[in-house]
Amino acid sequence: MMVDKPWQFWAALVATVVFAAIQASETGSFLMRSLKAGGSGLLAASLAGDFAHLTFGSENLALVLIGAFGFAVLEVFTAIIADQTFIKEIIRSKIGGRKDGDG
C-alpha cells in the first residue's frame, strides 16, 4: 500500500515532480506543465515497486528514473500529438493517400 512508504520515497517523488515541472518551465501553460509533471510522478510512484528489482531493490531510485523518463516520454508524446502535419503524414502513409505538394 502506498501510505506505508518511508519518507524518503515521498521526498524522491516530490523531487521528481519538481524536477519535471522545472524542465517544462519554458513550454506550455502552467496547467499542462503541472499535469505532465504530476502524471509522470504518479506513473513513477505506481511502477516503482514493480521495477525496483532492476535498480538493485531500490524503489526510490526506480521512482526517480521512471519519473524522469516518464516525463520525457510525455513531452515527446504531446509534441507529436500537437504536430498536426506529422499526424496527417502518418495517416496518409497508412491509408495510402497522397502527400501535400503531390499534384
pLDDT in tens, 45-79: 999 999 999 999 999 999 999 988 888 887 788 77
102 to 53, 74, 98: CA distances (angstroms): 52, 33, 6
Domain range annotation of the chain:
8-95
Distance CA 72, CA 85 (A): 22
Distance CA 48, CA 21 (A): 20
Q: Which pLDDT score, from 0 to 100, does residue 97 have?
A: 63
Look up the pTM and report it.
0.66
Which is nearest to 74 in space by CA: 51, 46, 43?
43
